[in-house]
Structure 1
């Protein structure tokens, strides 16, 4: 087993058991105590685990199971989200076709599109984003139907997914509740995760918009692996050692 695979398995075991001893890890992974202790040291430095006497436990910051409301999330790191959205807007060119999901940072991007006069085709499942984008008369705007989640005011479910699969776009701009190398993008709601996954698959280029607080956090449902991501735009609060992990996977990481 390669070291990276072994460390991923350690995190998986801790997610399932919350805590585990070094001896149990040695027996399960068929590795020496010295190897396991080196792995635990690295994972602790990455913020994924917390060392305990004789073992480790999952970091208190890595398992996101509860989802705050859209309006609670909107007020967090607002200045950082606006800077991220402004940098994302710079990537959009005239006559691009883009898809936006229902994140709070993508909502900031929707506002910038709506305030501009750039001609675009935009697809979104966010009722709030659609309202903002519609202010730009040069946008050909498509909203997808489905059940509206009151927590995010986004459409989800089979109707939304069936609608999205009828489109191919140049660029996707996706938010996330959590992002890690092992689990990729994650969100607390399965229906939201399904929509994000389809959006990532329908785009030629995927840009993830997340502030630094979303890194090394894992929510309940996986939305897509990091192999689907071309670019991440985040803020300067992201620590260098975390950034370096993503650069090793040829993902362009922009801090603003």
Structure 2
């Protein structure tokens, strides 16, 4: 996704419905070019098109979350993808930043992606990337597989790295998640002892949720934005975690 595409996505996400002519003026290119951009972005499930307009996707909560702070999440995804080599088998949990990571890997790396997210699997339906969607009980709102069958599936597959999302972190409590069933899936992944990497924006630090995500030392790396405070960064480093930040601006 180039800079113009990101500019289009930010504007569409802000206004929800934007005309082709307005986008043409905003980006300084012809309406023909904008229509070509919108066709490509629609094919990649980033937005919808109507006659003369671009529309933000509002089909479910995860779509909305993906479009929120889109440019930053794209940067996080690109940095995370730089840690992956061709030929690897990667587990990607769920969530908006992880969905963008999956998209980027599918477009730029020759990898096998394992996921519990039907949303991510759907995003990759046009890619050449090998996708393994694990089974289980379908949690409709998050479009994620959860439950005992999902844990069994995780035990039967092998991967070199796992990318995990979080909902909170405090030094005295560690990493936490909002949803009990999804936290259970994450803990099944952590139990395999692979290289576990958190990808999240800095707003999650300083928050606490009811469901612990393993122990802090189960994770090797945190990828976040430069809004992370020095106190939280120091706390993570002291616990043996590599911290990578990308510029938000």
Structure 2 length-normalised TM: 0.70
1:135 is displaced (CA, Å) by: 3.3
Aligned counterparts of 1:135 and 1:202: Cα–Cα separation in 2: 30
The structure with the largest strand share of the pair is: 1
Q: Which residue of the other structure, out of 163, 179, 183, is the alignment partner of 1:193?
A: 183
Counterpart of 1:45 in structure 2 is none
Q: Which has the higher contact order (CA 8 A, sep 6+)?
A: 1
Counterpart of 1:128 in structure 2 is 119
Q: Secondary structure at the match of 1:186?
A: strand
Counterpart of 1:178 in structure 2 is 168
Deviation digits for residues 19-63 of structure 1, max 9, x if unmatched? xxxxxxxxxxxxxxxxxxxxxxxxxxxxxxxxxxxxxxxxxxxxx
Q: Structure 1: which 4+ aligned runs deviate by more than 3 Å?
A: 133-136
Aligned counterparts of 1:193 and 1:71: Cα–Cα separation in 2: 21
1:191 is displaced (CA, Å) by: 0.6
Aligned counterparts of 1:196 and 1:103: Cα–Cα separation in 2: 12
Q: Do structure 1's residue 225 and structure 2's residue 219 form an aligned pair?
A: no
Q: Do structure 1's residue 93 and structure 2's residue 89 form an aligned pair?
A: no
Q: Do structure 1's residue 240 and structure 2's residue 233 form an aligned pair?
A: no
Structure 1 103/140 Cα, relative in aligned 2: closer, same or farther at 3 Å? same
Aligned counterparts of 2:193 and 2:157: Cα–Cα separation in 1: 9
Question: In angstroms, what is the RMSD of aligned CA positions?
Answer: 1.7
Q: Secondary structure at the match of 1:238?
A: coil
1:138-153 matches, within 5 Å, as 139-153=129-143
1:5-44 matches, within 5 Å, as none
Q: Does the CA contact (< 8 Å) of 1:179 and 1:217 recur in 2?
A: yes
1:52-71 matches, within 5 Å, as 69-71=61-63
Aligned counterparts of 2:165 and 2:213: Cα–Cα separation in 1: 10
Q: Do structure 1's residue 82 and structure 2's residue 62 form an aligned pair?
A: no
1:110 is displaced (CA, Å) by: 1.0
Q: Does the CA contact (< 8 Å) of 1:101 and 1:125 recur in 2?
A: yes
Q: Secondary structure at the match of 1:233?
A: strand
Counterpart of 1:57 in structure 2 is none
Unaligned runs of 5+ in 1: 1-67
Structure 1 96/237 Cα, relative in aligned 2: closer, same or farther at 3 Å? same
Larger radius of gyration: 1
Structure 1 88/214 Cα, relative in aligned 2: closer, same or farther at 3 Å? same
